[in-house]
Amino acid sequence: MKTELEPQDIEAIAQRVLELLKPHLSNNANPEDNVIFDVPGLSKYLNVSHKWIYERTQFKEMPYLKVKGLLRFRKKDINKWLASHNVPAINTPERILRAVK
């Protein structure tokens, strides 16, 4: 049995497939977020010591994974954690300049 489709039917099918796949494709829009660091890699990324990272994980202060007993860190989780520690500026430049004078 052979089926022939009109070009507009093929286009409609392609559009529907695209609609269905688009949400799944956009979840991985930034492949850099899928990076997984080990302790030396995270240490370099954050510009901190290995000891500092071990201390944060010991007291469960930062997100981490344990894979076969080894610490691993998802970049997207670390970036969210960093954003949650953001301290907004409350002093205007005028106040700072007055304090310096």
Inter-axis angle of helices 75-84 and 39-46, nearest 10: 40
Residue 54 belongs to domain spanning: 35-84
Q: Please say if the pLDDT value at position 33 is more than 80.
A: no
Q: Please say if the pLDDT value at position 81 is more than 80.
A: yes
- Rounded to an integer, the average pLDDT of 75-85 is 93
CATH of the domain at 56: 1.10.10
What's the confidence (pLDDT) of residue 54? 97
Q: How many domains does the structure of the chain reveal?
A: 1
Q: In this structure, are residues 53 and 43 in contact, taking their beta carbons and an 8 Å threshold? A: yes
42 inside domain: yes
Q: Please say if the pLDDT value at position 46 is more than 80.
A: yes
Q: In this structure, are residues 80 and 48 in contact, taking their beta carbons and an 8 Å threshold? A: no
Q: Which residue has the tokens 């970036």?
A: 79
Q: What is the DSSP string of 23-69?
A: HHHHTTS-GGGG-EE-HHHHHHHHT--HHHHHHHHHTT-S--EEETT
